[in-house]
Structure formats: structure tokens, C-alpha cells
Structure 1
Amino acid sequence: MTSPSHANQAYWDSDAANYHAEHPDYLSSFYWCPEMLHEDQAHLLGDVSASSVLEIGCGSAPCTEWLQSRAHFATGFDISRGMLNHAAPGLPLTQADALSLPYATGSFDAAFSAFGAFPFLANLDLALGEVSRVLKPSGRFVLSANHPMRWIFPDDPTDLTAGISYFNRAYVEQDRDGNLTYAEFHRTIADWFKALQGEGPYLIEDIIEPEWPRELTTTWGQWSPQRGEIFPGTIIFVCRNSR
């Protein structure tokens, strides 16, 4: 059976052009989430002027591109060659799987993921362990992802009726032969805490739930002003490597 990694690699390869056509503003700079929280405003990575920084699941790497003139060194990786092909020329990017990082132990001062990789990984613990391995001791790790509360609502961004179990941890699509073509994985708040800090290699320093800006009228996939007015769509964990 096709693994989630191979299924999602093929999915994002095929959807890369469409994804970029649908989200030009979001992909124009370093935004953490559909609420358009910018790193220049949030400073979640802190001062990176002397830091080596790794972006996890970088897609076409607008965040890594933004960091080029601000960090001592910034690089990123993504499993999808199709997404990487949309990156700006000359960026130091790698095609890789988050479950097996091609970097030496202790290579980076900071690592981050802005809606990249983690929602599509069945083995969250392995991926978080790999990030911890390539981070220096006490290195910063920042992760933004779908807020667990968003999972209980359908894809229609105008539908405010919760109808999906919060405790259903996966959504998959298959072709007629039963081969996996897409996989997305849900974590509850408790799941995230256990994976990051409870049984994981990090200390959580902050949790951020960005509010939907009143001036933002854009619908972004399942994120919309109607939903953003009443519940969070994004969760951001700011952590330190405890290994």
C-alpha cells in the first residue's frame, strides 16, 4: 500500500500550480498562517541574525526567501519537487522527507514550520525527533498548524456546523484500487502536548491562537472571516529543544 509520504508527495506535485494560483498573497512573504500573521510582526523566531535556520516543509519557500537577508543562514526542504520548482531561483533548498532529515546532528540554531509537513505525517513522534536531532541544544522550534478545533468542521468555509468527531485522527483518500492518494492527520490539544513536551523532546514556551484580522476578507481554503470571527483556525507552538 502507498505510504502517506508517497501519497502526499504525489498530491502536492500535482497540485502545486493550482495552490500557488489560489494563494498568491499568502505565498508572497513569511506568513505563519491564513490569518496572515507575519514574522516581521510576530518575531516568533527571535533575532536570527547570527543563526542557522531550517524550514520544515517549505513548499516554494517564501519564508526561507524572506530570511535570506535576515538570518546568518537559512535553508528549507520539502517532499514535493513540484512545490520546490515554484521557489525563487538560487535558494538553498533540498527535497527530503521530514521522517528522515539529511542534516547532521546539531546543525541548526532554530527550526520552524509554517503549515508545512506536520499535518500530513502519520508518525509525528519520528518527525519531531528528527527536528530535535538536527537542532542544537536549547535551539528554538516554532510550529504552526491547523488548530485542532478546525477539524470538527467540514471543508466548506461558510459552514459553521460542527459535524466531525474531534477524536477521529485521520482523513484519507484512495483511488479505485485502494491506493492512498492523500492523507491528513489530526491531533488533539492533548496529542500535541504529549508529542512536544509530555513525552517529546521540547519545552513549550508559548502557545498562540491568532485572531482573524477584521480587515482580512480573504477566504483561504477552509479558513474564512465567518469562521475566524468565532473560533481559531491556527495554533502556533513556540518551543525549545530540551535535548
Structure 2
Amino acid sequence: MSQDFEPEATRRDAGDAESSRASRGWWDRNADEYQQDHGSFLGDDRFVWGPEGLDEAEAGLLGPAPSLKGLSVLEIGAGAAQCSRWLAAQGARPVALDLSHRQLQHALRIGGGPGDGPGGLALVEADAGTLPFRDGSFDLACSAYGAVPFVADPVGVFREVRRVLRPGGRWVFSVTHPIRWAFPDEPGPEALTVAASYFDRTPYVEQDGNGEAVYVEHHRTLGDRVRDVVAAGFRLVDLVEPEWPAWNGQEWGGWSPLRGNLIPGTAIFVCERD
């Protein structure tokens, strides 16, 4: 499922439809390699918020584990549903949603899918911008690096999340820390010098020879993210910037112990619906 061309990296505008189409195609092509490279770190039933390795079991950003029992939880951009599998083990009733058919096939490969008993998962293939659920269907929603960095209209996605949450529901999502956009996406010392404006919101796009986007990632500043959350009708109750732990020696793209000890790599937004 690998692509047979070398994409051109550029910075240019990319709207909703192009971004969604590019994300679906990229993850369908690259899901196998992604799960092979990162599956051991992510585990089969571990809830990890980002490359630093912060576990939800430790962080408790969704609430204390005992309080998750019986709650309906929507995971957006679930990939192979590792986080949803952990939620099911805590007694929650998770629904794992992803745009990529191939990622959800990996969820079925690992197990815990439909028909697998009390710990089974509901898997849904859909776009985060148009959630196929009734109003007030869920107690909680979460996303660990899923969907949010890849959409052109984050406020639209957040409003959809708010719609499907019950009053008082919590929405917690993690993204690449916005400061990283000012630095090259490399793990070594060559990437410790600012190379671009933090305030340049132009999307990062990889495109084929015809100029069609095959990968799109959207940059929002920290202030932008806070304003997006509020504009969608949420209250921001916490902003977590995980520090790089001493035990974690891995490099994951531009994340590494060297960089992680100097600048934040992940931002986790904890929001609540009124």
C-alpha cells in the first residue's frame, strides 16, 4: 500500500475536502508501516497521549479510572483503537471512529472488535467533521493525535463533538505542540534552531506530481487552539504539556529525548461542555 512517487513538500492553503481526502488516502497507504513502527510503543490496549509516553492511567485527564465504568466514550481518530481498548478494560463503552479503513482493519486484527464479548469495541469509519451520531450520545470524547491536526476547520469538528456530548461531558485531545512548527521536524541538534515563523498558519502539504495533496497538516498557535475551543462552546479546564521522561529513549519523527528535554512536543487540551 506504499505510494510509488516521492511527494513534494510545500506550504499552501488546503481546504476541508482536500485535507479530508488526503488524510484518508495517506492513512490507508501508511497504516501498515505506522502500526509496524509504533505498535510496540502504543501497545494493544494502552492509552498514550503522545510520543512522550504519558499514559491516561497515570494522567487521569478523562477522570479517575473507576469513574469511567459504564460511560459511553467516543474516540476520534482512533487508528487501531488502542486507546478504546484500554477504555473498555476500565469498564467504559467506547466507540472507535477513524477516517481510514485500513487503520480500522488493524483494530480488527488486534481484536476487541464487534462480537468479541464484554470488552468488544464498536468501530465506525467516518469523518470527524460529520459525526454519524445523535445529539447527546456520549459522556466523554477523546483523541490522541487523531483528526484534529489534519482538519482545516477545527472549530467545526469541535462543534460536532460538543453536539454528540451530553451536558457536562468532557472532550480531551492531544496535538503536536504548536511551538514545534517553528523548528525543523528532525530529532537531532540540527533542529534546535528556529527555521520558520511560529505565526505562519499556512498548512504543510505533501503533493503529487499533479499538485494533488497526499498529506496535509494544519498549524494553529496555542492561542488559536484556545480560541477554537471556546468558539465551539467548550470551557477549557486544563492545558497539559507533558515533559519528556527519563525512561523514554525513543525517537519518533521530530520527537526525541534531546528535543523533549528542551521544548514541549505535545499539548493536551482538557475541555468541558456546559
Which TM-score band (shorter chain)? over 0.9
CA shift digits 1:80-108 (9 cap, x unpaired): 01111111332311100001001110000
**How far, CA to CA, are the matches of 2:126 and 2:264 in structure 1?**
31
Question: Which residues of 2 match residues 166-181 of structure 1 at below 5 A?
Answer: 166-169=198-201, 170-181=203-214
Work out whether 1:157 is the aligned partner of 2:157.
no
Structure 2: stretches of 5+ with no match in the other structure:
1-13, 114-120
- Between the aligned partners of 2:81 and 2:253, the Cα distance in structure 1 is 19
TM-score, normalized by length of structure 2? 0.85
Secondary structure of the residue that 1:183 maps to in structure 2?
strand
2:156–2:232 Cα contact (<8 Å) kept: no
**2:73 maps to amino acid:** V
**Matching of residues 13-162 of structure 1 within 5 Å:** 13-28=28-43, 29-46=46-63, 47-87=67-107, 88-89=110-111, 90=113, 91-158=121-188, 159-162=191-194
CA contact (8 A) 2:178 2:219 kept: yes
Change (3 A) 1:72 1:24: closer
Deviation at 1:167, TM superposition (A): 1.6
Return the alpha-carbon distance in structure 2 between the equivalents of residues 133 and 3 of structure 1: 24
Q: Is the 8 Å Cα contact of residues 202 and 240 (structure 1) preserved in structure 2?
A: yes
Give 1:86's aligned amino acid: H
8 Å CA contact retained: 1:217, 1:224: yes
Alpha-carbon contact 2:162-2:232 (below 8 Å) kept:
no
* Aligned-partner residue type, residue 29 of structure 2: S
- Which SS does the other structure have where 1:144 is aligned? strand
1:33-64 per-residue CA deviation (whole Å, 9 max, x = no partner) reads: 11100111111111211311010100111000
- Render the CA deviation track for 1:13-44: whole Å, top value 9, x for unaligned: 00001111111233201101111001111111
- In structure 1, the residue matched to 2:259 is 227
Is 1:11 the equivalent of 2:31?
A: no
Instruction: Output the amino acid matched with 1:13.
Output: D
Q: Distance in 2 between matches of 1:129 and 1:106?
A: 12
Cα distance in 1 between the residues matched to 2:34 and 2:170: 29
Alpha-carbon distance, 1:153 to partner? 1.1
Per the TM alignment, residue 72 of structure 1 is displaced from its structure 2 partner at its CA by: 3.4
Q: How many residues align?
A: 241
Secondary structure of the residue aligned to 1:12 is: helix
The SS at the match of 1:113 is strand
Secondary structure of 2:68 counterpart: coil
Q: Which has the higher helix share?
A: 2
Contact 1:53 1:71 in 2 (8 A): no
The structural deviation recorded for 1:125 is 1.0
TM-score for the superposition, normalised by structure 1: 0.96
The letter of the residue matching 2:91 is A
